Chain A
Amino acid sequence: MTTILDAVEVPTPKRPWNKKRQTFIRSAILMSISLVFSWLLSSTTELGGVLGFYLGLAVCLPVVVLIESIRHGRNVAIDRVASSVILAMFGVVVIPWISIVTTVYQKGSKAFYWGYLTTDMRFTASGESLEFGGALHAIVGTLVMVLIASLISVPLGITAAIYIVEIKGRFASSVRFFTQAMSGVPSIVAGLFIYSTICIFFGGFSAWAGALAYTILMLPTVARTSEEVLKLVPDELRAASYALGASQARTVFQVVLPTIATGLVTSAILGIARVAGETAPLLLTASYFVATSRNLNEPIASLPIYIFSNLGLGDANATTRAWGGSLVLLIVVFVLFSVARGLSARLSRK
């Protein structure tokens, strides 16, 4: 078959609207000019130090950009100044973040050796040399409890959201009210609640109790974000499905939920983020145990409590172990998020 392509020479596809390279060069030049100015400013005036330098930059950058872009007209100038202000603000926000990560890395990496991830503290005292013992028990404990809590609260939270948005049942407004109220519950109260209902009557501290305390905190977050995401699905989509003779259940499970799969993963991530670093709810429920737990009915270690108990000892080695635990916790949360993100990317590509 002959098509038009046989007759014309095909040029290379271009994206003239994509001005990344130019923009990059221009921004680099402007940025260096502003850097020089803010350095001059901080070295010649009272505004000394790193903070003064950043402050100078936050002022210089927009001014330099403004001067540069004035010749392009008002709109372009406003646009560029606004972007540079946002960039400066972004820097301000990122600085504490970088500082936290590097501090945790510097102090935490001292506790690291391969065995840190493969041994627990069964045979090691907290003050002992850093060549012995590790955080395996805490890592396993955190993962187990987050997993159980997710398995309970993600389906339950999504179901609650479906009840509110799709089914619009008789108790929809009261369910919404209670999830909203629950999202304000302080985490220690969640722990206390599980302690007074589960721990007292069912044999004391256990991994189950810790997971349930986590669940109380996760559930409202998952339910509320899922509800918001469900509300974004246009009614036309539901109408299209109903017009094909689908039942409400089929419509929800085969049309609505797949459409917002990415959003639901996000709601699960937010739920995990809410609990992964919580210490308070575990103090009264899961407690702490130095060996890697094989029994969910017994107390179990977790990273936050591991950090907490090691810090409390005041010993130098124990403190270093606590920093190591913090680093592991950061990494665990990061890995959980990356996995969830990758999952949602795959879901949305389909």
Chain B
Amino acid sequence: MDTPNLETKEVINSNIQMEPTVMNDTTRRNADNLEAKGESGLETRGVHAWFDKHHALADVSLHFPENTVTGLIGPSGCGKSTFLRLLNRMHEFIPKAAMAGQVLFEGNDIYADDVNAIDMRRRIGMVFQKPNPFPAMNIGENVVAGLKLSKIKSDNKDEVIEDCLTRAGLWNEVKDRLKSPGGSLSGGQQQRLCIARSLALKPDVLLLDEPCSALDPGSTLRVEETIVQLSESMTIVIVTHNMQQAARVSDYCAFFLSDGGPGHLVEADLTTSIFSNPKDTRTADYVQGRFG
């Protein structure tokens, strides 16, 4: 799936022409938005990342407008996950990691001294590439784990569980066994459980790192529908190796590349522009499957 051949490229283009207008609100999809620097959404300014001495990511400036979906694409190892982890301060858990630049959330630098990283992560949720349900909790408890962990009181836990599981497309499969352990689900089901888990906290931003890499086409479609639906009320950043997926769900696309040195941003634009007439030839090569 990483390297779509020419046939799938046709699919991509037909998708672009038909679907986004159906799924997305056209008014918020405007190339100018990417430039718009304001008090809204999430924005990075000249962000760099290091792992000890290894310079992994260089000079990324991007704006994620409020209530949109942005796809991060690029070959393996170009720093997409690293960039994503910088956006909700997960990068700092890696020993010897360092960074430079600014990450602005609603106009405030999330790396400023007085910012509480814990509160911040509650508002900028994350779903990891590898499903990681809590083994000591059952399915229902997993969904409301975020509420429990941050001591948020909720009177209608059952409603929250049903709502989140439904939105993650898992409710029908697990509604009869909410009491069985999270680890007893299949890999794809576990991933949807993790998505449901992050939804329970009602984050303002949701970061997804290849959320569908372990899912079958059916669940993938359901998760994609969920993403589009969620983007009505939250900003979504999704890393994906699946070009069709990027085309289907995202309003904007950002193409990352590492050309021997650190990974960096090559081009960011409306998804339609990235797929139909990218400005950079490397972007064109990548989305058409000529390398990467």
Q: Do A and B come from one complex?
A: yes
Inter-chain contact A3/B48, CB cutoff 8 Å? no
Q: Is the interface of A mostly helix, strand, loop or mixed?
A: loop
In Å, the complex CA distance between A137 and B59 comes to 66
Contact pick for A13, options B48, B59, B111, B118, CB 8 Å: B48
Interface segment, A16-24, A149-157, A196-204?
A: A16-24
**What is the CB-to-nearest-CB distance from A86 to chain B, in angstroms, rounded to a whole number?**
18
Cα(A2)–Cα(B261), bound, Å: 8
Closest to A15 in B: B98
Contact of B260 among A1, A12, A13 (CB under 8 A): A1
Taking the complex as formed, is A76 at the interface, i.e. its CB lies under 8 A from any CB of chain B?
yes
User: Of B100, B101, B259, which contacts A3 at CB under 8 A?
Assistant: B259
Contact of A5 among B55, B97, B112, B118 (CB under 8 A): B55
Q: In the complex, are the beta carbons of B58 and A8 less than 8 A apart?
A: yes
- A2: B residues at CB distance < 8 A: 259
* B80–chain A nearest beta-carbon distance, Å: 15
Contacts of A12 in B (CB 8 A): 100
Interface residues of B in 96-119 (CB under 8 A from A): 97-101, 111-114, 116-119
User: Which of A4, A15, A16, A72 contacts B58, CB < 8 Å?
Assistant: A4
Given contacts A1-B259, A4-B262, A75-B116, contact A10 B99 (CB under 8 A): no
Bound-state CA distance A14–B99 (Å) is 5
Q: Which of A11, A18, A72 contacts B101 (CB 8 A)?
A: A11
B117's partner among A3, A8, A13, A17 (CB-CB below 8 A) is: A17
Q: Measured between alpha carbons, how far is A15 from B99 in the docked complex, in Å?
A: 6
C-alpha gap A12/B101 in the complex (Å): 10
Residues of B within 8 A of A (CB): 46, 48, 50, 55, 58-59, 89, 92, 97-101, 111-114, 116-119, 259-262, 264
Those 9 A-B pairs whose CB atoms lie nearest each other, nearest first: A3-B261, A13-B98, A17-B92, A11-B100, A16-B111, A4-B264, A8-B59, A13-B50, A4-B58
Given A8-B58, A75-B119, A76-B116; 8 other pairs, CB 8 A cutoff: A2-B259, A3-B261, A4-B59, A10-B48, A10-B55, A11-B46, A13-B99, A14-B99
